[in-house]
């Protein structure tokens, strides 16, 4: 616990956050707390470690929050890590076994003595001791943290801010005992979709109560959340497009599961022959609907709810596609890389560019800026015509035309 965490040691940071957490518990109905500490009385020497160095510093009692807080501030990390003996002793610290008894075990090390915490946890269970342990590992490698799986629920905190967040979550879970997991189902009704922001609003209002980025935990399940059951909720999941569920009612003091169908696949627009990067974007819409859902970069995959989509690729001229997104697969849309038209005017001109299609039809592409005499435009490969008139000549009979061809990754230069 004496290792550095930024500008503080772990013990200093832990004491600060624990003291604040104790303060926040004041006034909570039907709550008593106690403080047991280990490894704080006997220093380790080259030949000795005190495996009995565990002590109930502040027993359970009504309104003893200040006593716990002040004792926390005076603790120093000196000795070894007798987790098993401390866990066994802590189970006997509770006044009775009829209440909901919670142990929050905070450690930055593994068991250092001769007892196995898993054996102690099983012993307590076999004796019918009703204790729910939470383990918070400070700066522990996850492979080590797995060793606490037999004790109870565990979490890792690699930084001070992470410890603050994890402790708040554990305390909330202990107090409320109302948990929620949000299943985002794929097309096979398995809760495999994840990594998307979720908003929980008070039902029927714009009062945002919770924001979470959906996560699959290390056991392969949707993460467990702590949510106040006093409200009804509207859930918005920020997939593309959004999915939602309204008027969600949570059952108190139990584990709730909220299920939404959110099957997703990918769209990727890519150049098949580009020799360099071209900053072209794609407008994505649901099939038959003009509303823009997303503007997607070229050569990047974005995730969408399965279904049909219309794409407008912002090339010149525009390229249009319709695609069908299916579960967990990528729809690749391939286009040719553009070429460059470089133009120069001997006199200011009114000019427009048209594409000549394979069937001979002509379609407008863009107008040139009449205030400048030269410039460049990226165009898709194909045949084009520039129609122009010198600006100073005020008769339509001075209209001129110039045909040219654009090739991928090549520059075509014309003078008008």
* CB-neighbour burial class of residue 373 (10 A; exposed 0-12, middle 13-18, buried 19+): middle
Give me the CATH code for the 179-261 domain, please: 2.60.40.1120
pLDDT of residue 120: 75
Residue span(s) of the chain under CATH 2.60.40.180 come to 339-415
> With contact defined as beta carbons under 8 Å apart, do 71 and 59 qualify?
no
pLDDT of residue 255: 85
Partners of 294 in the β-ladder: 284
Residue span(s) of the chain under CATH 3.40.50.410 come to 4-176
DSSP symbols for 71-129: HHHH----S---HHHHHHHHHTTSS-SSS-EEEEEEESS---SS--HHHHHHHHHHTT-
pLDDT of residue 159: 77
pLDDT of residue 144: 54
Q: How far apart are CA 401 and CA 204, in angstroms?
A: 61
Residue span(s) of the chain under CATH 2.60.40.1120 come to 179-261, 264-335
Residue with tokens 């704080």: 40
Coil, strand or helix: which one is 70? helix
Helix, strand, coil percentages, rounded to 5, for the chain: 15, 40, 40
Q: How far apart are CA 164 and CA 170, in angstroms?
A: 10
The helix or strand, by DSSP H or E, that contains position 412, with its residue range, turns out to be: strand 411-415
Fold of 4-176: Rossmann fold (3.40.50)
pLDDT of residue 78: 80
pLDDT tens across the length of the chain (416 residues): 566 666 777 788 888 888 888 888 888 777 899 999 988 888 887 778 888 889 999 999 888 999 999 998 888 888 788 888 888 888 888 887 767 788 888 877 677 786 677 777 777 676 665 555 667 666 555 555 566 667 767 777 777 787 788 888 878 777 766 789 999 999 999 999 999 999 999 999 999 999 999 999 877 889 888 888 889 999 999 999 999 999 999 987 678 999 999 999 999 999 999 999 999 999 999 999 999 999 999 999 999 999 999 999 999 999 999 999 999 999 999 999 999 999 998 889 999 999 999 999 999 999 999 888 999 999 999 999 999 999 999 999 999 999 999 999 999 999 98
pLDDT of residue 79: 77
pLDDT of residue 142: 55
Residue 411: name the closest of 308, 352, 351, 339 by CA.
Answer: 339
Q: How far apart are CA 246 and CA 241, in angstroms?
A: 16
Q: For residue 31, what are the contacts with CB-CB under 8 A and spacing of at least 6? A: 25, 175
Q: How far apart are CA 21 and CA 72, in angstroms?
A: 11
Omega within 30 of 0 (cis) for the link into 108: no
Match domain 264-335 to its CATH number in 1.10.10.1150, 3.60.15.10, 2.60.40.1120, 3.40.50.11740.
Answer: 2.60.40.1120
pLDDT of residue 129: 59
Fold of 339-415: Immunoglobulin-like (2.60.40)
């Amino acid at each position: 616990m004496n290792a550095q965490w930024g500008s503080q040691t772990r013990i200093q940071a832990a004491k600060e956050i624990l003291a604040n957490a104790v303060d926040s518990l004041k006034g909570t109905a039907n709550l008593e707390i106690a403080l047991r500490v280990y490894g704080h009385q006997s220093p380790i020497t080259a030949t000795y470690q005190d495996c009995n160095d565990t002590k109930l510093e502040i027993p359970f009692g009504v309104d003893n929050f200040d006593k716990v807080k002040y004792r926390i501030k005076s603790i120093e990390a000196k000795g070894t890590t007798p987790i098993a003996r401390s866990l066994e002793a802590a189970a006997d610290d509770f006044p009775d076994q009829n209440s909901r008894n919670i142990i929050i075990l905070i450690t930055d090390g593994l068991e250092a003595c001769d007892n196995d915490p898993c054996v102690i946890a099983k012993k307590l269970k076999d004796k019918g001791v009703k204790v729910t342990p939470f383990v918070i590992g400070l700066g522990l490698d996850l492979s080590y943290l797995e060793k606490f799986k037999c004790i109870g629920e565990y979490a890792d905190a690699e930084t001070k801010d992470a410890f603050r967040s994890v402790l708040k979550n554990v305390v909330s879970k202990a107090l409320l005992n109302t948990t929620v997991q949000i299943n985002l189902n794929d097309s096979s009704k398995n809760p495999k979709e994840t990594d998307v922001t979720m908003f929980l609003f008070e039902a029927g209002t714009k009062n945002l109560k919770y924001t979470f980025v959906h996560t699959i935990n290390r056991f392969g399940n949707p993460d467990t959340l702590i949510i106040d059951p006093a409200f009804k909720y509207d859930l918005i999941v920020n997939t593309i497009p959004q999915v939602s569920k309204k008027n969600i009612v949570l059952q108190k003091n139990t584990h709730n599961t909220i299920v939404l169908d959110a099957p997703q696949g990918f769209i990727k627009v890519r150049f098949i022959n580009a020799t360099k990067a071209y900053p072209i974007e794609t407008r994505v819409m649901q099939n038959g609907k003009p509303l823009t859902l997303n503007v997607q970069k070229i050569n990047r995959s974005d995730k969408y709810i399965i279904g049909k989509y219309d794409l407008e690729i912002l090339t010149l001229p525009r390229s249009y596609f319709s695609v069908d997104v299916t579960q967990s697969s990528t729809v690749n849309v391939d286009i040719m890389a553009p070429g460059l038209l470089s133009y120069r005017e001997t006199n200011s001109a009114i000019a427009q560019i048209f594409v000549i299609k394979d069937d001979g039809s002509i379609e407008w592409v863009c107008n040139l800026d009449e205030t400048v005499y030269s410039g460049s435009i990226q165009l898709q490969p194909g045949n084009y015509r520039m129609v122009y008139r010198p600006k100073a000549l005020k008769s339509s009979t001075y209209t001129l035309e110039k045909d040219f061809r654009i090739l991928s990754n090549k520059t075509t230069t014309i003078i008008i």
